[in-house]
Amino acid sequence: MEPLKIYIAAPRGFCAGVDRAIQIVELALEKYGAPVYVRHEIVHNKYVVDSLRAKGAVFVEELDEILSDDRPVIFSAHGVPKSVPEAATQRNLFYLDATCPLVSKVHKEAILHEKRGREILLIGHAGHPEVVGTMGQLPEGTVNLIETVEDARTYTPKSDKTLAWISQTTLSVDDTKAIVAELTERFPDIVAPHKDDICYATTNRQEAVKAIAPKCEAVVVVGAPNSSNSKRLREVALRSGASKAFLIQRASELNWDELSGITTLGITAGASAPEVLVEEVVDAFRLRFDVTLETVRTAHEDIAFNLPRELRTATSAAE
């Protein structure tokens, strides 16, 4: 077999927010029994969603798909517009909020800016659940979406209010810097977040890819096609020196024609992808190449988020 050096990026895979969201579904099933409803994919990963479905989770896009009012419903890690918990309360549904605390931080920033009379710009991708959730914290038209440097260059303020910017947590660090630079040049008094809105996990995973990409002919990102942070990892790999980069959900999606003849490969995983899928990809390469593995670590992560109060008793009992 041909030799292949694989550089494995670290950190990779699950972040604290994803880990917490999955735990919330598993503990709710343990405490309340099946079915437990989940509005939207709990995280953007088919393997994770299918695993939870097999345990009794029922995934819906909207609350009106839930016919029973006596079962728990969980809101996904991406966050939801204010109208969703309001609708749940009107129906007397018992709900658990699995919104990542770092997304909730952005929600609070938006609300605070509005209270202080600022015009709010949200840097993000239209239609992404996190963006829908953040814009939905305030009345329609209050939050203005900026997707590109061109948007920042051409944005016309709606009023003479002070501007403030916030961002989606899973963006490209470099793209966001370019957008913020344009906004700051045009509007020197624009108010920035006290602490960067792009989450630690997104930043760390992109830095790790930047470290391995220049050494690699190809980079494989394990993640879902609708996962913003996974798509950004593929883009970062290409910009950082990899000739090819692929976003795949499972090893079965690997394109061996595209990978023939390579001698160096990088592997990473988006924040919603479990380590078992990374191992599956490595094993697939071992079947075709004489593999040598090297982990390239650029940061250590030890962050954990608290579970909702209602489920803390379930974890104590489990321990």
Give me the active site residues, please: 130
- Cα distances from 91 to residues 117, 133, 319, in angstroms, run 33, 20, 34
Spatial distance between the Cα atoms of 288 and 219, rounded to a whole number of angstroms: 17
The residue written with tokens 């948007």 in the block is 151
Alpha-carbon 306 to chain mean position: 18
User: In the numeric block, which tokens belong to residue 307?
Assistant: 């579970």
Task: Name beta bridge partners: 292.
Answer: 5
User: Which residue type, as a one-letter code, is found at position 58?
Assistant: V
Could you list the beta-strand ranges (E) of the chain: 2-10, 36-39, 57-60, 73-75, 95-97, 119-123, 143-146, 163-167, 218-222, 244-248, 264-269, 289-297
Burial 26-45 (b: 16+ CB within 10 A, else e): bbbbbbbeebbbbbbbbbbb
Distance between CA atoms of residues 33 and 17, nearest Å: 23
Beta bridge partners of 248: 222
